[in-house]
A and B are shown apart, each in its own frame.
Chain A
Amino acid sequence: MARVNNNELEKDREWIQRSKEDPSAFQYLFDKYYNMIFNHALRRTCDSFLAKDITANTFLKALENIKKYECRGLPFSSWLYRIATNEINLNYRKIRRLVPLSEERIRQLRGDNKTDEALIQAEEKISQNKTFKKLHGAITALKLKYQNVLTLRYFENKSIKEISLILNLSENTVKTHIRRGLQQLKKRL
C-alpha cells in the first residue's frame, strides 16, 4: 500500500487551503493525483474514453466541493477515490455493456482525433492482459458493493482502513464484503 507521509499530507493541506481561496490553485492537486485516478478508472472500466470522462467528472466535482472538504480523518486521495467510486457506480450500466476494443473501433477513434492516440494505446495495453480481462469480466458481474471493495483492495492495493474511509463503511463491513465478494468471484471463475 502506498503510505502517505506527514509531509505530503501537510503539503496537501496547504494546497487545499489555497484552493478554497483561489480555485486555480487546485491545479497542483489535479496534477498530483491525475494519474492515480485515471489508472483507477481505467482498471474499473477497461475503457480509456470512459475512464477519461470519469476522471474529468471526479476532479470537476472535487473542485466544486473543495470548500466543503475537511482534512480531519479523511486524506485528500481517499476523498478523490470516494468521488471516483461514486462516478464509476453511476456509470455501472455503461461499463457492463462495454464491448472489447475492436480493430474497427480503433480505426474510427484514430480517425476522429489524433490526440486520443495515448488513450487508445492505454486501452490496448490493458486488453492484452488476458487474466485481468477475465477477472474484470467476472468482477463486473458482481454486486457493486463487492466490486468496490475488491478493486480497491486488489487493484489499488488499499488497506482495509483506507477502504473503510473511502467507502464510509466500518472495517468489519469491509472485511465481510471482501470475503463474500471473493466467494462470489470464486463461483464465477
Chain B
Amino acid sequence: MKDLHDIEKMLEKARPPDQDFSKTRRQIWQDILNRRKSQNKKGFPISLAPWIWVVASLVLIFICVLFMVFIHGVGSP
C-alpha cells in the first residue's frame, strides 16, 4: 500500500519536462490579435464606463417618473 509520501515522489518523478513551443508562438500571437480585432468590431458602438450607464439609467427612470406625475396632474380635475 502506497503512503502519501510515495505518491508525492511518484508525482514529482512523472512530471514531463518543459517543451519548446516557440515554433507556434507567432501563429498564436497573430491569432490573439485577430480575435481581439474581431471582438472589438462586434462590441457595442458606444463604449462607455459601466457607471455612466448606471447614472444614465437612473436619470431616465427619474424623467419617466416626473412625466408620470405630470400626466397624473394634467388628468386629475
Contacts and interface: CB of A to CB of B under 8 A. Distances in A.
A129 B14 CA distance: 8
Contacts of B15: 43, 132, 154-155, 157
A164 to B, nearest CB: 19
Contact of A186 (B2, B19, B22): B2
Contact of B16 (A23, A125, A157): A125
Contacts of B12: 154
A122 B19 contact: yes
Interface string B2-36: 11100110111111101111111101110110011
A110 B7 CA distance: 37
Contacts, number: 86
A155 B2 contact: no
A135 B35 CA distance: 35
B15 to A, nearest CB: 5
Nearest to B11: A154
B21 A131 contact: no
Given A155-B11, A189-B2, A189-B7, A59 B24 contact: no
Interface stretch (A31-39, A77-85, A97-105, A169-177): A31-39
B26 to A, nearest CB: 10
Given A131-B14, A135-B14, A39 B19 contact: yes
Given A131-B13, A135-B14, A189-B2, A56 B31 contact: yes
Contacts of A36: 18
B23 A63 contact: no
Contact of A56 (B4, B7, B18, B32): B32
A186 B7 contact: yes
Given A131-B13, A154-B11, 20 more contacts: A27-B29, A34-B25, A35-B19, A39-B21, A42-B16, A43-B16, A56-B31, A56-B32, A59-B28, A115-B27, A116-B24, A119-B24, A132-B14, A135-B11, A157-B15, A182-B4, A183-B4, A186-B4, A186-B7, A189-B10
Top-9 shortest CB links A-B:
A154-B11, A131-B14, A132-B14, A118-B23, A38-B21, A182-B4, A39-B18, A60-B32, A155-B15
Interface of A: 23, 27, 30-31, 34-36, 38-39, 42-43, 52, 55-56, 59-60, 63-64, 115-116, 118-119, 122, 125-126, 129, 131-132, 135, 150, 154-155, 157, 179, 182-183, 185-186, 189
